[in-house]
Amino acid sequence: MGNAAANLDTLDADLSPGALATDPDVVEKYRRDWTQSDAAGMPLGVVRARDADDVQAAVRWAAAHGIPIVPRGAGSGLSGGSCAVDGCIVLSLERMRTVEIDVGTRTAVVEPGALNVEVKRAAAEHGLWYPPDPSSFEICSIGGNVATNAGGLCCVKYGVTTDYVLGLDVVLADGTFVRLGGQRIKDVAGLSLLKLFVGSEGTLGIVTRAVLRLVPAQPPAATLVATFATVEGAANAVVAIGAVLRASMMELMDAASINAVEDYVTMGLDRSAGAMLIAQSDAPGAARGEEVELMQRECEAHGAKECFVTDDPAEGELFAAARRAAFPAIERRGALMLEDVGVPVPLLPELLGGIADIAARNRVEIPVVAHAGDGNTHPIVVYPPGDDEARDRAALAFDEVMALAIRLGGTITGEHGIGRLKRAALPEQLGPEVMALTHRVKAALDPQGILNPGAGF
């Protein structure tokens, strides 16, 4: 480390003025993502890159000295993926924020630090739409979205980040710059290397520019809000609706998350409900009303206590905002271990029932919010901070929820990534052959293992 510290001068000389920060107060701010993990290490310094040249210079320097690089977007990750390791350089892309809309190709050409919301806004100025909408869309970057293959609320109909990535510029582990894909809708030349980097969590390369597909602005949506006495009733309604139509949003909140949100921001949600579904249809013309009617019928058939329907987009947005407030609201209830497990949609009731059993058996609270239409749930294991015994029970419950998802043919992460929190469970899901293949790909692209070590796999 002493040697590397001395050599930071040579790194500084290769970068834009002011890009390297070693001031402990500044460095401290870049050590953790949203998980606020205690395990985060101490970086040598932070490079806040101005352009791809800075990224290349930092990676070349790190490769020459065998120093780990932890890429970082906006630090909103929920799996510890951008948490620092000891002696690393945190490579922050937050200053690379240009967004250019190309109407002719209906693409956005975006630097990685641009926030998701900034791309949406720029597209909207041209009557266009960038669909992927993580709940964190106002605070997460496109680079982070690409690296985690982020999902969100409208993904049930419109797909996830990878479905919108047409091109990427990537700096590889030896500093080589590659341009993959571009503004072409169709392009099958060569191996599909572009998609290898989507969801690779900063372990294979650093994204320095993305070309994103845009679509026409979303038609106005009608919203259905249904409350149920039980989570099972709501989950059965989701399965029934998913079998007959593709909603543009299908979110579920259980009783604990409804009450947590209501404690956090008074919205008049039904505190006595066992679960609430927030569903939307943005189908054109009369089909919209028909879809909402069909959704309402299925909810009622599965025991909905109450159904509320609105055509008013502002009213619909209020309910979506309640769902988006769930994480910050539940965060106030204690220390958290956040899950992101998913199953094929028809198995959603079984997953949710199993999670309730795990909570009861381990005597922990596990509120659940879910992108239910995707079968992707966020059970959140809550325990009192500072209580080691409760923490152990919470950790057991956390592992049991992942094991349950795998047993049901599901996944341990639908959108947040493996990061540093879920690595231990990955081999169980993927199996030895796929793990070995994963390691071969990593060894080919990053033989020194300097890119985000300890994250992903």
Ligand X SMILES: Cc1cc2nc3c(=O)[nH]c(=O)nc-3n(C[C@H](O)[C@H](O)[C@H](O)COP(=O)(O)OP(=O)(O)OC[C@H]3O[C@@H](n4cnc5c(N)ncnc54)[C@H](O)[C@@H]3O)c2cc1C
Q: Judged by CB, which is closer to ligand X: 76, or 236?
A: 76
Q: Least distance to ligand X from the beta carbon of 357, Å?
A: 26
**Does 150 participate in binding ligand X (rule CB under 6 A)?**
yes
Q: At what angle do helices 286-301 and 231-244 cross, to 10 degrees?
A: 140
- Of 131 and 144, the one with the shorter C-beta distance to ligand X is 144
Among 4, 15, 207, 390, binds ligand X (CB under 6 A): 207
Binding piece for ligand X, criterion CB under 6 A, among 141-149, 173-181, 394-402, 429-437 = 141-149
Residue 136 contacts ligand X per CB under 6 A: yes
Stretch touching ligand X by CB under 6 A, among 3-11, 140-148, 185-193, 385-393: 140-148
Binding flag, residue 210, ligand X (CB under 6 A): no
Q: Is 6 exposed, middle or buried (0-12, 13-18, 19+ CB in 10 A)?
A: exposed
By the rule CB under 6 A, 406 interacts with ligand X: no
The torsion region of residue 149 among left (phi > 0), alpha (psi -120 to 50) and beta comes to left
Taking the complex as a whole, how short is the minimal distance between the CB of residue 306 and ligand X, in angstroms? 26
The verdict on 257 binding ligand X (CB under 6 A) reads no
Q: Which stretch binds ligand X (CB under 6 A): 149-157, 178-186, 275-283, 380-388?
A: 149-157
Residues 24-43 touching ligand X, rule: CB under 6 A, are: 33-34
Considering the rule CB under 6 A, would residue 147 count as an interface residue with ligand X? yes
Integer angstrom CA distances of residue 19 from 30, 193, 453: 14, 30, 23
Q: Which residues contact 64 (CB under 8 A, 6 or more apart)?
A: none
> Which residues lie below 8 Å from residue 299, measured CB to CB, with a gap of 6+?
224, 226, 228, 237, 241, 277, 307
Residue type, 297: R
Between residues 122 and 154, which has the closer beta carbon with respect to ligand X?
A: 154
Piece of 146-154, 235-243, 386-394, 426-434 that binds ligand X (CB under 6 A): 146-154
Shortest Å distance, C-beta 331 to ligand X: 8
Name the helix (H) or strand (E) containing 170.
strand 165-171
Determine whether 226 is exposed, middle or buried from the number of CB atoms within 10 Å of its CB (0-12, 13-18, 19+). Answer: buried
Neighbours of 100 (CB within 10 A): 11
Q: Which residues within the stretch 105-124 sit at the binding site for ligand X (CB under 6 A)? A: 112
Q: Amino acid letter at 119?
A: V
Q: Does 93 bind ligand X (CB under 6 A)?
A: yes
How many residues sit close enough to ligand X to count as binding (CB under 6 A)? 38
Q: Is the CB of 249 or the CB of 390 nearer to ligand X?
A: 249
The string over 234-268, giving b where at least 16 C-beta atoms fall within 10 Å of a residue's C-beta and e elsewhere, is bbbbbbbbbeebebbbbbbbbbbbbbbbbebeeee
Q: How far is the CB of 96 from ligand X (least distance, A)?
A: 8
Q: Is 167 in the site for ligand X (CB under 6 A)?
A: no
Site string for ligand X, 324-343 (x = CB under 6 A): ---xx---------------
Least gap, CB of 38 to ligand X (angstroms): 17
- Is 134 a binding residue for ligand X by CB under 6 A? The answer is yes
The number of residues in the chain equals 457
Q: For residue 9, what are its two tokens?
A: 């001068």
Contact (CB, 8 A) for 388 and 251:
no
Amino acid making up residue 3 = N
Residue 109 bridge partners (DSSP) = 100, 211
- The residue type of 114 is A
DSSP string, 282-325: --STHHHHHHHHHHHHHHHHTTEEEEEEE--HHHHHHHHHHHHT
Tell me which residues in 185-204 interact with ligand X (CB under 6 A). 201-202
Dihedrals phi, psi of 194, to nearest 5 degrees: -50, -50
273 makes contact with ligand X (CB under 6 A): no
- The 10 Å Cβ neighbour count of residue 321 is 13
Query: Which of 56, 135, 296, 362 is the binder for ligand X (CB under 6 A)?
Result: 135
The rounded distance, in Å, linking the Cα atoms of 173 and 59 is: 6
* Region near ligand X per CB under 6 A, out of 57-65, 143-151, 184-192, 292-300: 143-151
Coil, strand or helix at 71: strand
The residue (of 156 and 214) whose beta carbon lies closer to ligand X is: 156
Give me the residue whose beta carbon is nearest to ligand X. Answer: 144
408 binds ligand X (CB under 6 A): no
Site for ligand X (CB under 6 A): which residue of 68, 143, 334, 342?
143
* Measured distance CA(329)–CA(331) in Å, rounded: 5
Q: Which of 81, 131, 316, 349 binds ligand X (CB under 6 A)?
A: 81
**CB of residue 64 vs ligand X: minimum separation in angstroms?**
20
Is residue 73 close enough to count as binding ligand X by CB under 6 A? yes
Tokens of 54: 């800075």
Residue numbers at the binding site for ligand X (CB under 6 A): 33-34, 70-78, 81-82, 93, 112, 134-136, 140-141, 143-145, 147-148, 150-152, 201-202, 206-207, 327-328, 415-416, 452, 455
